[in-house]
Amino acid sequence: MEKRGFHLRIEGIKNDKIQYSSGTVTSPGWPENYGNNEMCVFKLNADPGKIIKITFEEFDVERATLCEYDSLSIMGRKHCGNWSRKSPEKEVLIYAESTELIWSTDGSVTEKGFRFSWESIDNPIEVPSGALESAAGFHAHIEVNAKFLLIKIFSKRRGSISIFL
Ligand SMILES: [Ca+2]
């Protein structure tokens, strides 16, 4: 057992792959099936201030209920199967400048594996200041309309509207 553990650790160090800005990542041995007892880390580093967009082209990894045999971990979540519930979405956004994907396989049954490309993109959640200003304008507009509406209700119901004022 000790020998096996040592073997795995050496493979992990040997197979660490680091990419910057954009790239393509495949499972070991691609386009042939991946192997048994594999362990490697893919470290993706986006351009400064950007986030990571992954687009899967292929995903076929030994299926298991909890992906306990073979898996590709993205953001700490294990993925396996062949475009099944346990597989990743075709497009995955990682809201961070860098991430580590961990590939791990057990001692039997191999499949085709995976292939994806990735790129650095602007964070779509960040709202430009111009849009924020119009959002503030929209808010003021709504408030004016709401007051107008309350006045109309008030004039229809007479004194019964005091809770609004
Ligand atoms: Ca396997």
Instruction: Kindly list the domain boundaries of the chain, sorted by start residue.
Output: 2-121, 129-164
Q: Which residue has the tokens 């994907």?
A: 101
Q: Is the pLDDT of residue 118 over 60?
A: yes
SS3 for the chain is CHHHHHHHHHHHHHCCEEEECEEEEECCCCCCCCCCCCEEEEEEECCCCCEEEEEEEEEEECCCCCCCCCEEEECCEEECECCCCCCCCCEEEECCCEEEEEEECCCCCCCCEEEEEEEEECCCCCCCHHHHHHHHHHHHHHHHHHHHHHHHHHHHHHHHHHHHC
Do the Cβ atoms of 99 and 120 come closer than 8 Å?
A: no
Model pLDDT, residue 16: 84
Confidence tier at 8 by pLDDT (50, 70, 90): very low
**Mean pLDDT in residue range 46-69:** 97
- CATH 2.60.120.290 for the 2-121 domain, yes or no: yes
**Mean pLDDT in residue range 39-66:** 97
Model pLDDT, residue 165: 38
Confidence tier at 124 by pLDDT (50, 70, 90): confident
- Cα of 35 vs centre of ligand 1, distance in Å, is 8
- Cα of 28 vs centre of ligand 1, distance in Å, is 13
pTM comes to 0.69
- Cα of 61 vs centre of ligand 1, distance in Å, is 8
- Cα of 128 vs centre of ligand 1, distance in Å, is 46
Q: Which of 59, 35, 9, 28 is nearest to 107 (CA)?
A: 35
- Cα of 111 vs centre of ligand 1, distance in Å, is 8
